[in-house]
């Protein structure tokens, strides 16, 4: 774990995740590239491997998808880091979601609301592709890992097979030292 953060650094961590929550279209995972830039590149609080492991551990655990935010916070500054990242991520997005859902439901047939919801699809896809790009970064240089990533993309886009089979394949390849 990194050295203890000052209270100013904890507030900055909270503020960064607070702002990111407004961009979390498609879920918190869609903001992973910006989290990587902030935690790894800008501050050096986590290494690439720690960052990727934080996401992987939380995604493998049962529960909500957003758990990876708490794991990252914990790896940066322990319990206070987890509290800062989770509160920063959940408070604004929850309040905005409640308000927008009520507002949009009353106006769901208007042209503007329909245009907005149609325009969010490409934005979400772009954010998720950027997340995949960042998370696949540690696989560069490992032929087995790159093959697994490529196979997963092909299988997920062309079949209706459960993603859990690809998770199992990745776990098996990792256990055997192939990825």
Same domain, 42 and 118: yes
Domain that holds residue 173: 141-179
Same domain, 66 and 130: yes
Same domain, 86 and 13: yes
2 belongs to a structural domain = no
Tokens, residue 79: 């319990």
pLDDT tens per residue across span 5-51: 999 999 999 999 999 998 887 788 889 999 999 999 999 999 999 99
| Of 26, 81, 19, the residue nearest 50 (C-alpha) | 81
128 belongs to a structural domain = yes
Mean pLDDT of the chain: 87
Q: Is the pLDDT of residue 1 over 70?
A: no
| Of 114, 113, 133, 136, the residue nearest 125 (C-alpha) | 133
| Rounded-to-integer distance, Cα 112 and Cα 48, Å | 41
Same domain, 19 and 104: yes
Cα distances (Å, whole numbers) of residue 168 to 82, 112, 120, 148, 174: 28, 43, 31, 11, 10
101 belongs to a structural domain = yes
Q: How many domains does the chain have?
A: 2
| Rounded-to-integer distance, Cα 109 and Cα 104, Å | 9
> pTM for this structure?
0.62
| Rounded-to-integer distance, Cα 148 and Cα 171, Å | 11
Same domain, 166 and 109: no
Same domain, 133 and 175: no
pLDDT tens per residue across span 40-60: 999 999 999 999 998 988 888
């Amino acid at each position: 774990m990194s050295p203890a953060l000052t209270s100013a650094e904890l507030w900055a961590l909270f503020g960064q995740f607070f702002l990111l929550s407004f961009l979390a279209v498609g879920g918190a995972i869609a903001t992973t590239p910006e989290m990587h830039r902030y935690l790894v590149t800008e501050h050096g609080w986590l290494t690439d491997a720690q960052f990727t492991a934080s996401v992987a551990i939380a995604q493998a655990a049962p529960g909500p998808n957003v758990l990876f935010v708490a794991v990252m916070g914990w790896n940066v500054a322990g319990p206070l880091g987890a509290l800062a990242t989770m509160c920063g991520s959940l408070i604004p997005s929850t309040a905005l979601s409640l308000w927008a859902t009520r507002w949009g439901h009353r106006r769901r047939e208007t042209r503007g609301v329909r245009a907005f919801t149609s325009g969010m699809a490409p934005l979400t896809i772009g954010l998720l592709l950027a997340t995949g790009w960042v998370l696949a970064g540690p696989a560069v240089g490992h032929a087995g890992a790159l093959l697994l990533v490529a196979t997963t993309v092909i299988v997920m886009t062309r079949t209706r097979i459960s993603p859990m089979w690809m998770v199992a394949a990745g776990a098996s390849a990792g256990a055997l030292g192939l990825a």
